[in-house]
Amino acid sequence: MKKDFMRSTVLALLAALPLYGGCNGKEEPPAAGPAEQMGREIDKTINKTILGGVKQAQEVREKVEEKVKQANEALKKMDSATE
């Protein structure tokens, strides 16, 4: 009985093999319609806006860090002058 089950399983797998071989997973997507194209443009715009905002935030952070550094140096000078 075990042999019959094994044979049946092997035959079923061999029969299904050509069906699996036909799927290469590289099908081209259908042409994008107007709504999908608009959605892609919206995504691009949002990404540019977000990335631009991040860049501006980094520039502001760098300027603030520089001002804090200058303030610390000024405080050190004031402390050394009072001693």
Residue at 35 is within a domain: no
The answer to whether residue 24 scores a pLDDT higher than 60 is: no
Residue at 62 is within a domain: yes
Residue at 75 is within a domain: yes
Residue at 7 is within a domain: no
- pLDDT bin (cut points 50, 70, 90) of residue 29 is low
Note the pLDDT tens digit of each residue in 34-81.
888 888 888 888 888 887 778 888 888 899 999 999 999 988 888 888
Query: What is the residue range of 81's domain?
Result: 46-83
Secondary structure string (H, E, C) spanning 21-76: HCCCCCCCCCCCCHHHHHHHHHHHHHHHHHHHHHHHHHHHHHHHHHHHHHHHHHHH
